[in-house]
Structure 1
């Protein structure tokens, strides 16, 4: 069984112009990092012309679909019927995207199949993490 889930989604980029542009994005969940999810944007979808990946808590995504969540670099909130807004804050500016909530729920259900919420700690390899920290310290 695969330990990584990837799901392509269409994100609607919210810009200062009245129309919204659709951009491809990929949601990713890896059992090796059980508390996190990432959202990856291809180079053509970014201002810098390079791929960008944002990592944030799976719990943030889960909570943000029903009520505003997050106070840091990534914030998530519901928007209208079957939309969720993800805000990505960086020194260069803020990017906001709308994603269908049903797509997010499908992705999270698949992630839950790999690692049930509340059981993430059982999938962490603390011995390997500690060994890696010790190697880096030397």
Structure 2
């Protein structure tokens, strides 16, 4: 059985100019981190010139395709009939991307098939995580 889902999506970068640039992005879900999703942008699509990855809650993404969600570094909200806006807030500024809502829903369905909502705790390895936290404590 697969433990990781990766799905390529086309993200439209919202800039101050009216033109919206398409950039490739990858959504990732790992059963070993059942509460989180990642969205990665390749080096050519970033200001730093290196891949940038944002990690945020799966619950935030699921809520944001239907209604505005999030108050922190990542915010998600519907935009029109078929788009969802993801906002990434950093000290350098705000990046906003539009993604087709259908692509996000397909990704969330695949994650749901792997780890059903409300069952995430069953996939946590708490003993391993605690050992990792304490390994350098001595």
1: CA distance between counterparts of 2:137 and 2:104? 39
Matched residue, 2:106:
106
Look up the SS of the partner of 1:9 in the other structure: strand
| Count of aligned pairs between the two proteins | 138
Look up the SS of the partner of 1:137 in the other structure: coil
TM-score of the aligned structures, taking structure 1 as reference length: 0.99
1: CA distance between counterparts of 2:77 and 2:110? 21
Matched residue, 1:35:
35
RMSD: 0.5
TM-score of the aligned structures, taking structure 2 as reference length: 0.99
* Structure 1 alignment gaps of length 5 or more: none
Matched residue, 1:26:
26
In the TM superposition, residue 136 of structure 1 has moved relative to its aligned partner by 2.7
2: CA distance between counterparts of 1:23 and 1:137? 42
Look up the SS of the partner of 2:136 in the other structure: helix
In the TM superposition, residue 137 of structure 1 has moved relative to its aligned partner by 1.8
* Structure 2 alignment gaps of length 5 or more: none
Matched residue, 1:61:
61
Matched residue, 1:83:
83
Look up the SS of the partner of 1:122 in the other structure: helix
